[in-house]
Amino acid sequence: MIQSIFEENDGNYGYRRIQLDLGNKGIKVNHKKVQRIMKKLGLKGNKFCRKTRKYSSYKGTIGKVAKNLINRRFHTHVPYQKLATDITEFKCSDGKLYLNPIMDMFNGEILSFGIDKHPNLALAINPLEEVLEIVKNSRYRTTIHSDQGWHYQHIKWVKALKESMVFQSMSRKGNCLDNSPMENFFGLLKQEMYHGEVLCTFEELKSKIERYIGYYNNKRIKQKIGRNESGSIPNPHQPISSLK
């Protein structure tokens, strides 16, 4: 069963996530035993090697720099209350690819994302417009957190948030830990479907990222959420009372 789970997830699951998956199937086993069995079977991910230069969209103060309202308080029990966003860069065989997702810190779900060959303003604005439509009827006022990249200082971004009554929050300059939910997501994404793979074209990589985000949102076990008694991940759109 351990080997089957490992292969089903393309070698992306470590011993802790396999232990959780076994638990969802009604099999209680210590994580150290799972680790020993995986070592004996030679089950080890091979996508934790090559690193790439971190993309930075910081160009100094070119617009409005917001206060760090989140201040590393990433946890929330309320859907759409705290969102995070950032931009990362990938190399392709025919150029580069830029990804800008927007995450709900409630459960780690990627609510929307933009992909482009260039780090232009539309890369950030288009996913934002989708998210603003999603959160417009949320129970509590939304805060969206980012770094100090030029996209997030731009008057169009600031104006869109203000018109939708969404709070803006920014990391301190040069402090990636202030936006660790997005950094963690980028790390997982690149380890599980990019590092260790042969470079592909922009269109091929775009399709792979879209499939991965669908997998991440709908199937990948998130340890900070776990699963409910029926074995499914709690629905972020359920009333909060029903999740207790």
The three-state secondary structure class of 190 is helix
CATH architecture of 82-218: 2-Layer Sandwich (3.30)
Per-residue model confidence (pLDDT) at position 170: 96
* DSSP states along 191-226: HHHTTTSPP--HHHHHHHHHHHHHHHHHTSPPTTT-
User: Contact 167/144 with Cβ under 8 angstroms?
Assistant: yes
Distance CA 105, CA 83 (A): 6
The DSSP call for residue 229 is: T
Distance CA 78, CA 6 (A): 32
Distance CA 182, CA 179 (A): 6
Per-residue model confidence (pLDDT) at position 231: 40
User: Contact 147/181 with Cβ under 8 angstroms?
Assistant: no
Per-residue model confidence (pLDDT) at position 44: 76
Distance CA 226, CA 234 (A): 8
Specify the pTM. Answer: 0.71
Q: Where in the chain is the domain with CATH 3.30.420.10?
A: 82-218
Closest CA to 88 of 71, 104, 110: 110
Per-residue model confidence (pLDDT) at position 242: 37
Per-residue model confidence (pLDDT) at position 26: 87
pLDDT in tens, the chain (244 residues): 988 888 887 777 788 878 888 888 889 999 889 889 988 888 876 554 444 456 666 666 666 789 999 999 999 999 999 999 999 999 999 999 999 999 999 999 999 999 999 999 999 999 999 999 999 999 899 999 999 999 999 999 999 999 999 999 999 987 888 999 999 999 999 988 998 888 999 999 999 999 999 999 988 755 445 544 344 444 444 443 333 3
Per-residue model confidence (pLDDT) at position 109: 95
User: Contact 12/47 with Cβ under 8 angstroms?
Assistant: yes
Q: Count CB atoms within 10 A of the CB of residue 231.
A: 11
